[in-house]
Structure 1
Amino acid sequence: MDAILGDELLDEIFRRLPPASSSAVTLVSKRWLRVYRSSKTCLSLRLSIPYSSTPLLSFLSHFPFLSSLSLTAGGDSSDRLILSAASSCPNLRQLRLYTAPVSVVPLLSLSTSCPHLTSLSIVLSRPLSFRWLLLFHSLKELSVVLTTVAGGSDSCQFTSNFQIMCGDFDAELELESLGLSGIQNGDFGLDWLWRSCKKLKKLQLRSCECICYDDSSLSSFVNCLNGLQEVELRACRAIVDEVLSNLAQSSASLKSLLVYDGGSRDGLLQFITQSQCNLQKLDLRLPLDLDNDHLFAVADNFRGLSCLKLQSCCFVTGEGIKAICIAMKHDLEELALINCDVVEREPGLLTTLGQNLRRLRTLDLSYNEMLVDKEFTSMIVSCSRLRELKLRGCKRLTNLSTVSMVKHCRHLESVDIMLCSGIEAEAVELLVLNSLQLREVQVEESKLSDVARKRAANRLI
């Protein structure tokens, strides 16, 4: 049999195997191991300490078609990791390096050895310079965590010399997605980056204290907002008002907004009422900064909303949620009410939502620990188009809820019932056997019967 199966046929078989089974083929023979490695395009490695580059170079050489690589290691090995990746993986398109800060010299080597790199995630130390981006002509996505490291004078001197060599001219980077984490007051290297990002479509800011240091830098930041379609602000209380105010004035193309863990009631309300964009996705986790006034404003101003996600909303009531869902009942396809006690405080809320949201495709009610079968089933009776359902951490739901899913949600493709202690193995088996469109189930392994395992394996669930 092994002689009949050529390398190309083996490669095609390996690509079609489910993840849980694919690693077992490496134990069959050295030939199968070689073919399996050759078929891999994505790899994630966590390296032990101390790290040595020689074994990594040898290991990566077995994956000639690797296009995505994620590396995690302790210590100060980032430079060596990048040099190893640059030497062994010329076809890389995505590199993620979760470890110590990277200096400029390895980045120069990476830009030469991996000319097709489109996505890069790294850690950089201060003082900041982004002019090395000029050498990455294919880069579309950049994610940077900023940190302060003591010493490093040689690296700083090289960075300064490289900056002088590149000059201070305006550039036009190809970046479409930019993520920055940890911006502090006094970070002066950002102005050039804002001026050079003229094609941005997505901006992510996390734990940032400022975005600019003077009026000129602010103007550069505002200009790069013009074409934005997605913005994510996480733990950015110090700058959220300024960013939202500029978005309302400058970004008519905005389609998706996420604000987590640090907002402003007035700033958010001002954005909602003044923005001229056609927002389609709104994702908020603002326990102390979100109330019904915001939801009423969303219902009035964002009539095209197709996705609404609310997490840990302490001051929101059923009245505000109903206002949004009634106003958008013809467009809303995704709804998440995660850890929202309004689900538990107001009986009948889910029934009303289900009756109005007949086009709903995705529903997430995770971590509503007091949610009971009666309330849940009264909603999904009306949600026959559901494709994805998340109930993680809903401890009071029982087998009755699973029976209702099978009966009323015949198009389910993905279900998450992890940490649902009231749902037992027999209900999971019923779900797997009778949900014909099912492709993914997240559940404790202890709740999988032999029958459920066999059916899941046969249908590649």
Structure 2
Amino acid sequence: MDSLLCDELLQEIFHRLPPPSSAAVSLVSKRWLHLLRSSTTALSVHFPPPYNSAAITSFSTFLTNHPFLSSLSIAGGGDDPLLLSVAYSCPNLRHLRYLTSPVSPFSLYSLSTCCVHLSSIAITISRPLSFHWLNFFNSLKSLSLYFANPSAEISNHEVNEMKGTLIDVELNLESLSLCGIMPGDYGISYLWRNCKNVNKLQLKSCESLGDYSSFSCFIKLLSNLQILELRTCRSVVDLVLLKLAENCVSLHSLLVYDGGSREGLLQFINRSECNLRKLDFRLPLDLDNTHLIALSENLNFRGLVSLRLQSCCVVAGEGLKAIATALANGLEELALINCDVVEREPGLLTTLGQNLKGLRKLDLSYNDMLLDKELMSMLVSCNLLRELRLRGCCKLSNAAVGSIVRSCKWLQSVDITYCCGIKLEGVECLVLNTPMLKQVEVEESKLSEAARKWAMSKFMEVVS
């Protein structure tokens, strides 16, 4: 049988197998092992110590056996020799995630020489900050940097970069993600001066923006910024949002997690001229009704299609109802994750459902006191749902499942993990009676034999 299958057909079969089957495929024969490696384009590797020369050589040999590898993620440890082995062994690499140990400029120069097609890099670098190695990555479009080794003093090199005495070269980056900027990181101004084509900006755990004047110029020159994500950046979030409101009209997606101020956020909402399409907030004490009402009144936000709120403890029904009324014809995704307003105000979900009949995605996860009757009263009006997430809603029972089956004929994906009240019979009813269902997330212990067989016959993905 093995000899009847050509290499191309075997490789196509390998591509269609679920990941756990790969280990078994490699044991069939040397031919299958060779074909599997030749058809592998993405790998995620955990590389534990020791990092001696023998281990590095063995790892290089392993990589060389995957000649068409284009995406590689390495975790676990290592330093420059490990990165150099990647550079010399993977000439076709396009995406690299290497967040083990800080890497040196020398190893990055080698990487740029050997892997000329690299378009995406995620790495850790040490202070003092220097970025001139970026000039050698001609194909780079996406850059994610994590900063290590806090420095108490500003180096002369960083002072020179801040003053702009070093040669600038405009970078072609479209996506920029920075994690851990601290006061005194003036070298970051090199990025602010030379990244003028960025359309996606992510800041994580940043206590500063380095040189604030360079950042202000950076925002003013960004005509194409479309996506902004601010995670745990309380000390800088107000400044970023203010500059954004003053200078950027192209933004369509904004995420703010774990940090901000009520006044700063309100100023952004009132003054922004962005035609936002997506809003994602995880602001336990910083987001309230005032912000939601302001959102509903700003005509620039009438094109909003996705609103996600997580752990927003002081939001009340009045603000959500104002949003639902203003966006009745357009909102396609609503998430109220761990928002106790769902439990505090009976009838709120009914009102939201009656107004937002065009919803395609609904996420009510981790509202552990959500009752069957509240969910059912909303689903009666939401007949177009494609995706429903109810993870961690402990009070829901099989009665809620019956409502899902009756009301959500177009449902394709559902998550009912950690819903203690939904039993094996309810899961079986959902799997067997939802005609468009393609994915179910649920505990394996709640899958009956009939549900398993039906899911397999319909090529339904079951995530346990």
TM range (shorter): over 0.9
For 1:144-163, what aligned pairs fall within 5 Å after superposition? Answer: 144-148=145-149
Shift of 1:135: 0.6
Distance between the aligned counterparts of 1:123 and 1:20, measured in 2?
A: 30
Deviations 1:73-92 (CA, angstroms, capped at 9, x unpaired): 23xx2312221211111111
Paired position in structure 1 for 2:238: 241
Paired position in structure 2 for 1:71: 74
Deviations 1:29-58 (CA, angstroms, capped at 9, x unpaired): 222222222221111011121132111111
Shift of 1:150: 8.3
Which sits farther off after the overlay, 11-20 or 97-106? 11-20
Distance between the aligned counterparts of 1:353 and 1:82, measured in 2?
A: 52
Deviations 1:244-274 (CA, angstroms, capped at 9, x unpaired): 0000011100001111101110100000000
Deviations 1:386-405 (CA, angstroms, capped at 9, x unpaired): 11111111111111112221
In structure 1, what residue type is equivalent to 2:57? T
Distance between the aligned counterparts of 2:8 and 2:278, measured in 1?
A: 43
Distance between the aligned counterparts of 1:433 and 1:41, measured in 2?
A: 36
Match of residue 283, structure 1, among 280, 283, 291: 280
> Structure 1 residues 211 and 149, CA, compared in 2 at 3 Å: closer, same or farther?
closer
Shift of 1:21: 3.9
For 1:246-265, what aligned pairs fall within 5 Å after superposition? Answer: 246-265=243-262
In structure 2, what residue type is equivalent to 1:434? N
Q: What secondary structure is seen at the aligned counterpart in 1 of 2:140?
A: coil
In structure 2, what residue type is equivalent to 1:194? W
Paired position in structure 1 for 2:91: 90
Partners of 2:219 and 2:248 within 8 A in 1: no
Q: What secondary structure is seen at the aligned counterpart in 2 of 1:233?
A: strand
Paired position in structure 2 for 1:199: 197
Paired position in structure 1 for 2:187: 189
Q: What secondary structure is seen at the aligned counterpart in 1 of 2:308?
A: strand
Distance between the aligned counterparts of 1:276 and 1:398, measured in 2?
A: 44
Query: Are 2:368 and 1:369 aligned?
Result: yes
For 1:338-417, what aligned pairs fall within 5 Å after superposition? Answer: 338-417=337-416
Deviations 1:100-149 (CA, angstroms, capped at 9, x unpaired): 11111111111111111111000111000111111111111111111116
> Structure 1 residues 357 and 214, CA, compared in 2 at 3 Å: closer, same or farther?
closer
In structure 1, what residue type is equivalent to 2:194? S
TM-score (norm 1): 0.93
Paired position in structure 2 for 1:451: 450
Distance between the aligned counterparts of 1:222 and 1:18, measured in 2?
A: 44
Distance between the aligned counterparts of 2:224 and 2:186, measured in 1?
A: 24
Query: Are 2:40 and 1:40 aligned?
Result: yes
Distance between the aligned counterparts of 2:430 and 2:38, measured in 1?
A: 37
Paired position in structure 2 for 1:134: 135
> Structure 1 residues 138 and 250, CA, compared in 2 at 3 Å: closer, same or farther?
same
Partners of 2:383 and 2:409 within 8 A in 1: yes
Distance between the aligned counterparts of 2:151 and 2:85, measured in 1?
A: 25
Distance between the aligned counterparts of 1:388 and 1:419, measured in 2?
A: 17
Partners of 2:182 and 2:210 within 8 A in 1: no
Partners of 1:200 and 1:224 within 8 A in 2: no
Shift of 1:60: 1.3
Partners of 2:230 and 2:257 within 8 A in 1: yes
Query: Are 2:267 and 1:270 aligned?
Result: yes
Match of residue 61, structure 1, among 61, 64, 73: 64
In structure 2, what residue type is equivalent to 1:139? L
Distance between the aligned counterparts of 1:111 and 1:413, measured in 2?
A: 43
Distance between the aligned counterparts of 1:343 and 1:288, measured in 2?
A: 16
Partners of 1:212 and 1:221 within 8 A in 2: no
Shift of 1:26: 2.5
Partners of 2:204 and 2:232 within 8 A in 1: yes
Paired position in structure 2 for 1:12: 12
In structure 1, what residue type is equivalent to 2:49? I
Distance between the aligned counterparts of 1:398 and 1:24, measured in 2?
A: 39
Shift of 1:459: 2.7
Distance between the aligned counterparts of 1:19 and 1:177, measured in 2?
A: 29
Partners of 1:211 and 1:221 within 8 A in 2: no
Deviations 1:288-319 (CA, angstroms, capped at 9, x unpaired): 11110100011111111100000111111111
> Structure 1 residues 219 and 355, CA, compared in 2 at 3 Å: closer, same or farther?
closer
Partners of 1:185 and 1:213 within 8 A in 2: no
In structure 1, what residue type is equivalent to 2:192? W
Distance between the aligned counterparts of 1:205 and 1:73, measured in 2?
A: 24
In structure 2, what residue type is equivalent to 1:131? H
**Between the two proteins, what is the percent identity of the paired residues?**
59
Partners of 1:78 and 1:97 within 8 A in 2: no
Partners of 1:111 and 1:135 within 8 A in 2: yes
Partners of 2:126 and 2:149 within 8 A in 1: yes
Q: What secondary structure is seen at the aligned counterpart in 1 of 2:422?
A: coil
> Structure 1 residues 280 and 150, CA, compared in 2 at 3 Å: closer, same or farther?
closer
Partners of 1:363 and 1:386 within 8 A in 2: yes
Shift of 1:238: 0.5
Distance between the aligned counterparts of 1:206 and 1:150, measured in 2?
A: 19
Partners of 1:195 and 1:224 within 8 A in 2: no
5+ residue gaps, structure 2, are none
Q: What secondary structure is seen at the aligned counterpart in 1 of 2:108?
A: helix
Partners of 1:108 and 1:132 within 8 A in 2: yes
Paired position in structure 2 for 1:220: 217
Paired position in structure 1 for 2:317: 318
> Structure 1 residues 431 and 36, CA, compared in 2 at 3 Å: closer, same or farther?
farther
Paired position in structure 1 for 2:119: 118
Q: What secondary structure is seen at the aligned counterpart in 2 of 1:27?
A: coil
Shift of 1:209: 1.2
Shift of 1:167: 7.2
Partners of 2:128 and 2:151 within 8 A in 1: no
Q: How many residues align?
A: 450
Partners of 2:197 and 2:222 within 8 A in 1: no
Which sits farther off after the overlay, 430-439 or 127-136? 430-439
In structure 1, what residue type is equivalent to 2:440? V
Paired position in structure 1 for 2:291: 294
Paired position in structure 1 for 2:432: 433
